[in-house]
A = this chain, B = another copy of it.
Amino acid sequence: MLQRPEHQVAGHEAGSGTPGPLIDGSGHFFKPLNPSDERGAHELAFYTSFFSDPRVPHSIRSSFFPSFGGTRVLPIPDSPDLLLPHLVLENLLHGYSNPCVMDVKIGARTWYPSASEKYYAKCLKKDRDSTSALLGFRISGLQVHHESGRWKPHRDKVRKYTVTDVRQSLRQFISKNPDETPPDCALASSVYGGSNGILAQLLELKSWFEDQTLFHFYSASLLIAYDKGGKAPRLKLIDFAHVMEGEGIIDHNFLGGLCSLIKCVSEILADAETAAGPTDPQVLETTADLEAAAGPAEPKVVVGLTENGIH
């Protein structure tokens, strides 16, 4: 019944003697809570707090976070005598036959103000060595299913991605020929575009981040996923081992990185649609259209701009 997730693209995997996440056939994702590692306890505390906080809008919780079902003690597959508590989460890829998945760690900095000097130095080095400091986010892993199989760059290769590589990966991710040059971006409109697409979801999430001062999501990721053919793109926040209390301050680090990702995705979408020529006018394609369409979901400030208004 329990098995290793097949489509994990980043994060801890099970090793010999090291417990990793498990999934069942009912849509659950079990993440081990190692008692000797405070990160698990911290992530559990976050889920508990987040799912009971009335200030978090229901739509945000249900749209952008895995559902949470407490904890459960489970045997470890390779060491059935060993029982370990697990977080009971939603398997975000449940129901997808051939999922295309990307893990994007958001924020120019992954260290938090109260971090130890050692942890801080380690994060800072990673942020400067990766695209995080420069671009405001980095890709931690991805896989694309296409007609002739699965394309999944090696973890060590992804770790060395430059800004150019990241831009390219965001194109490969929505291409039917991810391993060719240039990637065709054939699924740009169906995955990134449209009123239920990734860009529209990113903009809705951005609206919440412009306002919320409850949590700071250090080192968290956005999981972007869709099934073969571009069906049902999903955008979810994951990995909350380093979420801190917001203390009345917005999460400007996450928000800045999110805006940078939005800009990159917008550009790909605009390029793809320019290349495709005129399209159905009902398809909402531009950032401005989508922001307008987000409507009530966005607690937009309606201050009249001066006559020098932005266009």
A interface residues, Cβ below 8 angstroms from B: 33, 35, 40-41, 44-46, 48-49, 53, 55, 57, 59, 62-63, 70-71, 73, 85, 108-109, 113, 128, 133-136, 163, 195-197, 199-201, 203-204, 207-208, 210-211, 213-215, 243, 245-250, 252-253, 255-257, 259-260, 262-263, 266, 285-287, 290-291, 297-306, 308-311
Contact in complex: A133, B113 (CB < 8 Å): yes
A41 to B35, CA, bound (A): 56
Closest to A311 in B: B85
Chain B residues near A59 (CB, 8 Å)?
Answer: 308-310
**Copies of this protein, total:** 2
Chain B residues near A109 (CB, 8 Å)?
Answer: 108-109
Could you list some 30 contacts between A and B, CB below 8 A?
A41-B310, A44-B310, A45-B303, A45-B304, A48-B305, A48-B306, A48-B308, A49-B302, A59-B310, A71-B308, A85-B310, A108-B108, A108-B252, A109-B109, A134-B249, A136-B250, A195-B304, A200-B304, A200-B306, A207-B310, A210-B287, A211-B263, A213-B263, A214-B301, A243-B303, A248-B297, A249-B263, A252-B260, A255-B259, A256-B259
Cross-interface CB contact of A287 among B136, B252, B300, B305, cutoff 8 Å: B300
Closest CB of chain B to A257's CB: distance in Å? 6
Chain B residues near A40 (CB, 8 Å)?
Answer: 310
Closest CB of chain B to A104's CB: distance in Å? 14
A287 to B209, CA, bound (A): 13
